Structure 1
Amino acid sequence: MAYQYSLAHLTALGCPPPELAYVAARAGYDFFSPRLIYMGLPGEPNYALADNPEMLRQTKRAMASTGIRVHDIELARIYDDMHPTKYLPAMEVAAELGAKAVLSSVWTTNLDYATEKFAEVCDLARPFGFTVDLEFVPIAGINNLAGAAKMLRDVNRSNAGLMIDMHHFHRSHDNPEDLDRLPREWFHFAHLCDAQGEIPSDRDEFIRIMRGERLYVGEGGIDIANILKRIPSSIISIELPHLARAQEFGFAEHAFRCLESAKHYVKEHLPESLQPKLHGAA
């Protein structure tokens, strides 16, 4: 079973969802993964389609004309003093668009509180048929594989999952072999990119690379093949922000190069004998 690919919004964050759909379709992706939950970060566009009916209509038209599908939406963050029901409008729109998953991450160090709120997000997502997939981020409250696995066990929700991002996995000094010991049903999709092998010690530099200078697959020092072959999912979402390349090539060409490098890497480094038994294809 071949991998299927989604274009994560951070790869081309300057594209509103309708344009992202066209870019993904023209580049050859199977899905796109729009950022429909506005986070209020400095300089980040607001693509909350629940609050923008015209952009929602345009997104539906783009999907209908190209055949591209939505895989997951983001980002249902868990943070102090949050109210999970604020994510309901985005979930309702995601259901209209046929999405399969909601991406989440934890940005509080109060882990008892985070566990409670993550469970609530899972419960809200269940009637829509969504999984809620937890992404650990090295600078966040849940910052490594062990922390994410503990939360999923504590939450104990059937629609809770684990989303492995290649950049974050490498930067957290995690061991690919540890993935083998986790429940197979946790894995629904993964984020793919590459990055320099050396891990920055300066937090600002770390964030700069994470948000704007990840590398095409095979260019960096991450042992991507050893991670991917342990993730039993056929869906790969390419999250590869590189601001300079996007400016030089344009979003469409950058997205195309992301996909082409990923496919080439998989062909060269993951022959069928090394690929996991895949599940989750649409």
Structure 2
Amino acid sequence: MSSDEREVGIAHLTLLHLPPPELVTVAAAAGFDAVGIRVVTAGPGEEPWPMAPGSPMLAETLSRLEDSGMRVLDIEVLVLGPDSGREHYEPALEAGAALGARFLNVMGDDPEPERIAATFARLTEDARPYGLRPLIEPIPFKAVRDLQQAVDIAERSGGGGVEIDALHFARFGGDLEALRSVAPELLPLLQVCDAPLERPDDLERPGRLPRGQSTEGDDRMLEARAMRLLPGDGELALAELVAAMPAGVPLSVEAPVAALWEELTPAEFALAARRAVEPLAAAGIDPIATEDQREIR
């Protein structure tokens, strides 16, 4: 990747049925620069990939990262609830450090604003020795559900940031002008996908999702887990969203599309995702700003 190119990764949720080593290989062949890896499950019932330090799968993942020159952009997904403490998140920090990840994706699921802010601040401090920067992701069906809540928490954390997801931004009614007003150093990563403008209603429930993720609950959650679209296949204002973010911010394709999982091999899907994101990746690149963005951790 040259100095005038934007870093582009693929989030594990896009191909969660692939073990991390295979994800690295498939993503590298498709032309991605980096991957996100799920080292912690997002909810009860989900089957974790065995990525603890010292595990054979972690060792194989590291080997494939070295062989391919790929990087780990972020690890996911840490859910912070009312009782979350160091014993809850330390395994994720250890796995992230072993992988050389930059960011830790965080969901806020504690409805008490002061407590979740304090928990995220402690996490930010505890993550620093591991070389990880926690990013809280506003999600409309979680307790931290909009941009302002996430920014307030990040600003008080002493070094954490906010991870914007294109789908969630649309579903919580995100405002581009408000996004432009956020300090650039708080926005080091953007997840992209596409979707219809209209909020989903009464979605057909699939029999099973990768790794046993739940198909129950809010339609927005099911859409986020399995019914997104590749960039360009929907109606979201993705170019405008990218333009509202800091110049040169890395992009991560988080676009699980259940219909395409059935039609395409993982290699074909990854290649389609890389091609779909290219217009966004190439838009508005400033070489100096891009270099500055890579220094933000």
Q: CA deviation at 1:254?
A: 1.1
Q: CA deviation at 1:194?
A: 0.6
Would the alpha carbon gap of residues 18 and 190 (structure 1) be closer, same or farther in structure 2, given more than 3 Å must change? same
Residue matched to 1:231:
245
| Aligned sequence identity (%) | 29
Give me the TM-score of the superposition, normalised by structure 1. Answer: 0.91
Would the alpha carbon gap of residues 265 and 181 (structure 1) be closer, same or farther in structure 2, given more than 3 Å must change? closer
In 2, distance between residues paired with 1:143 and 1:39? 16
The letter of the residue matching 1:181 is S
Q: CA deviation at 1:52?
A: 6.3
Q: CA deviation at 1:40?
A: 4.4
In 1, distance between residues paired with 2:63 and 2:38? 18
Gaps of 5+ in 2: 203-216
Residue matched to 1:15:
18
Q: CA deviation at 1:62?
A: 1.2
Residue of 256, 267, 271 corresponding to 2:271 = 256
Residue matched to 1:217:
231
- Deviations, residues 105-147 of structure 1 (Å, cap 9, x unaligned): 1012122211111111101111122211110001000111111
Matched, 1:157 2:172: no
Contact 1:230–1:276 under 8 Å retained in 2: no
In 2, distance between residues paired with 1:237 and 1:2? 14
Contact 2:72–2:100 under 8 Å retained in 1: yes
Q: CA deviation at 1:161?
A: 0.6
Matched, 1:71 2:85: no
Contact 1:48–1:90 under 8 Å retained in 2: no
Q: CA deviation at 1:89?
A: 2.3
Q: Which has the higher contact order (CA 8 A, sep 6+)?
A: 2
Would the alpha carbon gap of residues 19 and 68 (structure 1) be closer, same or farther in structure 2, given more than 3 Å must change? same
The letter of the residue matching 2:76 is E
In 2, distance between residues paired with 1:35 and 1:52? 16
Q: CA deviation at 1:265?
A: 4.5
The letter of the residue matching 1:218 is G
Residue of 74, 79, 82 corresponding to 1:80 = 82
- Deviations, residues 215-253 of structure 1 (Å, cap 9, x unaligned): 111111111111111211431111001112012102221
SS at match of 1:21: helix
The letter of the residue matching 1:257 is A
The letter of the residue matching 1:199 is R
SS at match of 1:196: coil
Gaps of 5+ in 1: none
- Deviations, residues 12-56 of structure 1 (Å, cap 9, x unaligned): 0001111111111111110011001134433x3312411661111
The letter of the residue matching 2:67 is S
Residue matched to 2:118:
116
In 2, distance between residues paired with 1:48 and 1:135? 24
Residue matched to 2:27:
24
Residue matched to 1:59:
61
May I ask how many residue pairs the two structures share in their alignment? 276
SS at match of 1:229: helix
Name the stretch that deviates more: 118-127 or 89-98. 89-98
In 1, distance between residues paired with 2:106 and 2:281? 26
Q: CA deviation at 1:86?
A: 2.5
Q: CA deviation at 1:93?
A: 2.3
In 1, distance between residues paired with 2:201 and 2:269? 28
Residue matched to 1:126:
128
Matched, 1:5 2:8: yes
In 2, distance between residues paired with 1:147 and 1:201? 26
Contact 2:139–2:146 under 8 Å retained in 1: yes
Q: CA deviation at 1:271?
A: 4.7
Residue matched to 2:41:
38
Contact 2:9–2:33 under 8 Å retained in 1: yes
The letter of the residue matching 2:293 is G
- Deviations, residues 194-232 of structure 1 (Å, cap 9, x unaligned): 111112356633222111111111111111111111211
Contact 1:191–1:236 under 8 Å retained in 2: yes
Residue matched to 1:192:
192
In 2, distance between residues paired with 1:172 and 1:143? 7
The letter of the residue matching 1:259 is R
